[in-house]
Amino acid sequence: MASNPPGKCCGTVHARHEGDALGKMETLNGVETYVARPSDKVHNGIGILFLTDVLGHKLHNAQLLADQFAANGYLTIMPNIIHNDPVPTENAPKDFDIMKWFVGEAPHGKVSHTPDTVFPVVNAAVEWLRGEGGIKKLGAVGYCYGAKYVTVAMGEGKVDVGYVAHPSFVDEAELAAIKGPYSIAAAETDHIFPVEKRHKSEEILRETKQPYQITLYSGVEHGFAVKGDLSKPAVKFGKEQAFLQAVHWFDQWLL
């Protein structure tokens, strides 16, 4: 594995970020999807597929991030890859087991969250973007759980440019197969993407001969780019810079 499977920390929300979500829920190719459309600044024919962590497309913080990508000119869609069955953040059973959630074992999960249920959603989103959405060049962002599917989509040539933050569940072979520029935002403290996995990922990326970037943020933990407590200066800085890292990456390789 280039990154370990998710753990309990993946379902922790340290803070609800301030601001109103501006996008809308739409049904695209049969999938409920949060859609953030650019207004003043528009990169025509260029879009972003946003693949979430285990908390899904209804998480307020994730919606704000999608809105921010749209504010930077990118049509951004965030499909329901978790099938309306997020990992519980409140009133979670003490014995909640995220690995049982993945396979839909009650009471930990309602449906399976394995690749056979996620890939059809990702593929439907890509098909909409490339078709009705009018997207010619496509970037993808993946946070934690979503990182695996960004990586696989790049290996299959469905996505042109990728960015992931605190990734999980990415296999080494999947990372080695990417066919475009790939950027990683990593947390200093992260047992899912620890030092040895980060260094191994660097070795693999170097061998791909693709443009790559790995940025390490100090003073932050797994999940900081979406769910961090912004009252902490290091977390606020890391979250904001990780977003700018993504935007600058797309500006460089998509425009």
pLDDT tens, residue by residue, 184-223: 999 999 999 999 999 999 999 999 999 999 999 999 999 9
Catalytic residue among 222, 229, 248, 251: 222
pLDDT digits (tens, 9 = 90+) for 59-89: 999 999 999 999 999 999 999 999 999 998 8
Calculate the average pLDDT of the chain.
92
> Looking at residue 15, what is its pLDDT?
47
Helix/strand/coil for 215: strand
pLDDT at 14 over 50: no
pLDDT digits (tens, 9 = 90+) for 118-169: 999 999 999 999 999 999 999 999 999 999 999 999 999 999 999 999 999 9
Whole-number pLDDT of residue 77 = 98
Interval 31-41 mean pLDDT: 94
17 CA to centre of own chain:
17
Question: Is 190 one of the annotated active-site residues of the chain?
Answer: yes
Helix axes 115-130, 145-155, angle to 10 degrees: 60
Could you tell me which residue, 17 or 232, shows the higher pLDDT?
A: 232
Residue 53: count other Cβ atoms within 10 Å of its Cβ.
Answer: 29
Confidence of residue 17 (pLDDT cuts 50, 70, 90): low
Span 8-253: which CATH code? 3.40.50.1820
- DSSP letter assigned to residue 223: T
Provide the pLDDT confidence category of residue 6 given band limits of 50, 70 and 90: low
Q: Which of 53, 83, 144, 160 is catalytic?
A: 144
How large is the average pLDDT for residues 103-128? 94
222 is catalytic: yes
| Catalytic one of 53, 67, 160, 190 | 190
| % the chain with pLDDT above 90 | 84
Residues 6+ apart with CB under 8 A from 222: 9, 10, 144, 166, 187, 189, 190, 191, 192, 193
Q: Average pLDDT in the 83-97 region? A: 84
> Is-catalytic flag, 40?
no
Alpha-carbon distance of 10 to 167, in angstroms, equals: 11
Q: What is the pLDDT of residue 11?
A: 46
